[in-house]
Structure 1
Amino acid sequence: STLSFFKSEFERLPNKQTESEVNDEILNEVSQNLENCVRVSALDTEEVNFIAAQFKNMCMKASPLLPAIIEAALTTIIDRIKDENLDADNEQFISLKQSAFIFSYTDESENYKKGVRVFEIRKKIESTDE
């Protein structure tokens, strides 16, 4: 199988400045695709790890957004989801926060070059309080 993105994406490091290019329209597009992708795939496994180019390939094929912008948007979305003070104005993030999944990212993944931003989606463990 051939990659539908440049191999260099596996080594590209996040650029903090790119986050400033992310506007509400981009955040909405990426968060909707994240939500749709999670809902459609229903995550067959307990956890999935991916870089932004893989996310674009899986969930945003038709989008003109570059992986670097998608990465910055995913980073912003996950930071907002993790924000304890997330308010009702952020409806698209509230639904992700209340979903059956935990969203996170790291720049320290063992499977990628150090510094490469890797996103993780894990199923929330149902607590069995008795």
Structure 2
Amino acid sequence: MHRWDGIVRIWQTVVPWAGWVLISLFAWLSIRELAGHVTIANIKILAQAMSGGESPCPAWYLVVASVMLGLGGVWFGRRERRLRKDTIERLHPYQRLWEERSDPDRSSSNLTPRGDTRPEDR
């Protein structure tokens, strides 16, 4: 079983780094391809060309869609933060019990039960 733990630990380290290496490689290849060329991108002209010359929807639709996506992202982030803090608060007594059992002389970080920094430490 210990062998598999080592393999999994190596895999967990290699995969994120390989992802960053691939992203860097693709970025470098894109920059290399465009180096020395004059590139001008006009999004509106490109969108009109792709839609047959006429925009399929008014511009304000794009603004509304962008605002909705932005607000949805903010809502999602706040919701995830609340869920994370609720989970920390739910598991806090178990963590304290484990710390007291594993090392009674250990000093506490004195975080709040929701995992926040103490107000006097800010």
TM-score with structure 1 setting the length? 0.23
Q: Highest Rg: 1 or 2?
A: 2
- Which protein has greater RCO, CA pairs closer than 8 Å, 6+ apart? 1
| Higher share of residues assigned strand | 1
Alignment TM-score, normalising by the size of structure 2: 0.24
